[in-house]
Amino acid sequence: MCGRFALTAPASTLIDVFEVDVLPDLVPAYNIAPTHRVLCVRSDGAARIAQRFRWGLIPRWAKDKAIGTRMLNARSETAATKPSFRAALRSRRLMVLADAFYEWKREGRTKIPHLIEVDGGRPFAMAGLWEAWRDPETGEDLHSCTILTTEPNPLMAEIHGRMPVILDPAHWDRWLDPRRTDPGELTDLFAPFAPERMRARRCAKAVGNVRNQGPEVQGPWIDEDSA
């Protein structure tokens, strides 16, 4: 799964990389967690639009938004048939922006956090889906999203059994194109990302606590047993 990630690049870099005209107000986010509002890019058919979505997809038919905490990720292999995701896969696709994500590897009785980057730390896009859910109490629409996952590549297999679907820039337009409504035309994009374009290292234990939101969460791992 993908349960934590980061987006710390300046707005000017994101505008250049993802070819969007306007961004919401941004601050560096070192420890993005479930239910946080995450920066995404979608298409209206003519241009790319940057927008914030609540992380944890809330299906339109849901009675309570709490269901979103169980829908942080969607397995790409089954998204086309799952009631919670199949309509969104056809017509509500987006890219979740990041410049690192975190995963935990169990070593004995210890789970060690790892920071994973793409293309030397350059911002990248994870394939996602979105929904608009109307709050029955307030009548307001809440926009939420999920991140698609796939089988791990050899680098990630050493850390965890799943990884996010990372989209190569050459495929961004195809993924976002709202005219493509046949999921079968997109399944090749769900292949594990090239491991030679990724790097992973142990990082600070502090990332495990969502209250820690500063750059210290990306610091080095300290083995307390040997310190």
Distance CA 221, CA 87 (A): 41
Q: Is the distance from CB of 55 to CB of 5 less than 8 angstroms?
A: no
Looking from the CA of 130 toward its CB, the CA atoms found within 13 Å total 26
Cα three-residue angle 212-142-96, rounded to 5 degrees: 55
Looking from the CA of 89 toward its CB, the CA atoms found within 13 Å total 24
Residue 94: phi and psi, rounded to 5, are -150, 180
Pairing outcome for strands 29-32 and 37-43: unpaired
Looking from the CA of 104 toward its CB, the CA atoms found within 13 Å total 14
Pairing outcome for strands 100-107 and 110-118: antiparallel
Catalytic residue of the set 40, 103, 131, 145: 103
Q: Is 2 an annotated catalytic residue?
A: yes
Which residues, in sequence order, are CB contacts of 17 under 8 Å at separation 6+? 9, 122, 123
Q: Is 203 an annotated catalytic residue?
A: no
Residues with a catalytic annotation lie at: 2, 103
